[in-house]
Structure 1
């Protein structure tokens, strides 16, 4: 049992690093797309306001929530493997 807790603890730390990197990367890609979109269309208002509004919309998007799958999928797989190994 202690080995499982250690595995989950280390796994949680590793997944947190992966989540942070993936989240920052995805936000940076979205920012670049918004900046390119504004540069192409010269939209209304200032560039910074346009980009901030787009990022606020991105923060509520499904894509941002799907990145949480970094935690869910591996932990579910570990749980399934432990269950099948020990109780099946």
Structure 2
């Protein structure tokens, strides 16, 4: 039981680091796309206001929520492996 607890704690910490890195990377890519869109197409108004508005939309988007799969998928796989190992 202690080994499972240790696995879960270490796994959660590793997945948290992966989630933070992936989240920051995805936000940076979105920021670059918004800046590029403003530079090529819009060029009216304030650039920072346009980018911040786009990032606010991104914060509520489905893509942002899908990044939570970093926690869900590995924990599900580990649970299935443990279940089949112990009960089949």
* TM-score between the two structures when normalised by the length of structure 1: 0.96
Deviation sequence 1:43-74 (CA, Å, 0-9, x none): 44200000000000000111000000000000
Counterpart in the other structure of 2:33? 33
Can you give the 5+ residue segments of structure 2 that lack an aligned partner in the other structure? none
The RMSD of aligned alpha carbons is 0.9
Counterpart in the other structure of 1:15? 15
Find out whether 1:61 has 2:64 as its counterpart: no
Q: 1:81 & 1:36 partners in 2: Cα distance? A: 45
Q: 1:77 & 1:43 partners in 2: Cα distance? A: 47
Can you give the 5+ residue segments of structure 1 that lack an aligned partner in the other structure? none
* TM-score between the two structures when normalised by the length of structure 2: 0.96
Aligned residues: 88
Higher mean alpha-carbon deviation, 35-44 vs 55-64, is at 35-44
Structure 1 runs, 4 residues or longer, greater than 4 Å off = none
Find out whether 1:74 has 2:74 as its counterpart: yes
